Amino acid sequence: MAVGAGLLLMAGSFAAFRLLNRGLERLVPPPPSARRNRWKWRNIWTSLAHSVLSSSGALLGFYLYPELHEDLVGTQPPGARSLVAVSVGYFLEDFVDMLCNQKFHQSWELLFHHSVVIVCFGIAVLLHQYMGFAFVALLVEINSIFLHLRQILLMADLVHTTCYRLTSIVNLGTYVVFRITTLAWMTRWLLLNRQQVPLAAYTVGMVGMAIMMPMNIILFYRLLRSDFFKSSRDVRREKEK
């Protein structure tokens, strides 16, 4: 896939997720408790759709092409760049959605996170390299599925249900396994394989990991406090953000 085709696929993905976002309110009408924050309801369902698509694609890629985890830099299985390009389009769409609908002081952390992902994934797509590394990063989206489901249940005012409690527990478990552990493994791989990666790409990767790890540890603490140590008043406040 040429550079032009990669850019075209990113743009097409952006447009597709934008259309999905606009139509989701008809497909999944917000409950009364979420009607004051309709854009966020649509945003979370859009994010859930991406998480299911990208994590499934990453798992399938590692299953069909075991060489991906053996060579994270040069392996180029069919469809790999397409999946990463689609993810870039999604993160661009989500960036624009938050920028247009949420106050900056409420969204700056996610905007910063998305900027790092867009740069790193964009490099992989445009340079025709680092597909295995990008696929490892997409395993984080396995946790994002439960992270988004938790937020949907929270907005639907189902915080006191067994379903919410189970989702919260699974969310924290997958957070440790597929988010914190994955990011730690990626950092270790970069350090051990410094000679395989050009200085510019290595610097971008290490800066990205240095940003992502603290952000994700802080978010884990917030989730733990919110779901297991917070008062009901604090939970309501989180739902209204």
Amino acid identity at 121: F
Give tens-digit pLDDT for 16-62: 999 999 999 889 999 999 989 999 999 999 999 999 999 999 999 99
pLDDT band for position 239 (cuts 50, 70, 90): low
Task: Kindly report the number of other CB atoms within 10 A of residue 159's CB atom.
Answer: 19
Is 90 exceeded by the pLDDT of residue 174? yes
pLDDT score of 131:
92
Cα–Cα distance, 158 to 236 (Å, whole number): 11
Global pTM reads 0.90
pLDDT score of 1:
57
Helices within 128-180 (DSSP H only): 131-138, 140-155, 162-174
Task: Give the residue, 17 or 72, on which the prediction is more confident.
Answer: 17
Give tens-digit pLDDT for 180-206: 999 999 999 999 988 888 898 899 889
Residue where the block lists tokens 């790092």: 116
Check if the beta carbon of residue 11 is closer than 8 Å to that of residue 89. Answer: yes
